[in-house]
Homo-oligomer: A and B are copies of this chain.
Amino acid sequence: MFTGLSAFPLTPLIQDTVDEKAFAALIDRLAAAEVHSIGVLGSTGSYMYLDREERRRTVELAVRQAQGVPVMAGIGALRTRDVLRLADDAQRAGAAAVLLAPVSYQPLTDEEVYALYAQVSRHLSVPLCVYDNPRTTRFAFGDELHARIAELPQVRSVKLPGVPDDAAQARVRVEALRALLPDAMRIGVSGDRLGAAGLLAGCDVWYSVLGGLFPTACLDIVRSAQAGDAEKALRLSAELAPIWALFERHGSVRAAAAIAIRQGWMDASGLPLPLKPAALPEIRHIAPLLDRLG
């Protein structure tokens, strides 16, 4: 489950409720492209903005539409009680794995984060992916903590926020982390502009926002990297540079939303307020690229 391309779709809203039709259509595209897994309710899927029923329903819909592609569901919440409830809901709805970030309001200590993963992992019957995203959680994992958490039951993957830009340094980084983790742990890269670099550096899986919009283009990158064609993987990724710049400037959820709105896949009110999509004039500049991808 934790290999290849894991595509992270938006959860489109329309007038402040989940647009189930638009969401189902996004999942259809991913299933048709045969991505290796689908990660619903990630940061791009607005999980922290949706209530329990919206999240339950979203997982249920994704599993129904995914045509057998395994679905991983984000279960992060500020309070452990709520994480446990969301874990139950996701498992009942058919999620094949769960994704858990140490979301915080009060900055968390290492001990608090370890205890959270210990309690949740004991409670699970499906695999768990550790979601390391300091930009949104404001928690910085150290490698020692990653190694301790990786020993817990059900913990099978880690979603890293990126790898170093330099190829040699990226490989050193991934190898150093792998040496600390149990063999069964699958290492994933995110931060889409680093997807190709991460896979070439030895990551097992690319947890990808753009994969949730343009799965075929991202699968081309994954297949090139897996075949050892570094030159092609990096060239395909570099062709998407205007999109990576947009992600960088506005955050990937706002950029992905602006693209989905432009493509007609999501209503203009598709993000949960107070979040607003990136401004459309910027999207117009990359219209030819989007037309080719879409």
Contact = CB atoms under 8 A, between A and B. Distances in A.
Contacts of A108: 274-275
Interface stretch (A99-107, A201-209, A215-223, A240-248): A99-107
B79 A115 contact: no
Nearest to A117: B274
Q: Is the interface of A mostly helix, strand, loop or mixed?
A: loop
A119 B16 CA distance: 14
Contacts of A116: 273-274
A64 interface: no
B274 A113 contact: yes
B48 A273 contact: no
Copies of this chain in its oligomeric complex: 2
Contacts of A115: 273-274, 276
B273 A81 contact: yes
A49 interface: yes
A140 to B, nearest CB: 13
Contact of A80 (B79, B82, B106, B273): B273
Interface band, chain A: 20 to 34
A94 B10 CA distance: 39
A162 interface: no
A79 B49 contact: yes
Nearest to A276: B112
Interface string A94-135: 000000001101111101110110010000000000000001
Interface string A77-88: 011111000000
17 contacts: A43-B105, A43-B106, A49-B79, A79-B272, A80-B272, A102-B274, A106-B136, A106-B251, A106-B253, A106-B275, A108-B274, A108-B275, A112-B276, A113-B274, A115-B273, A116-B274, A119-B273
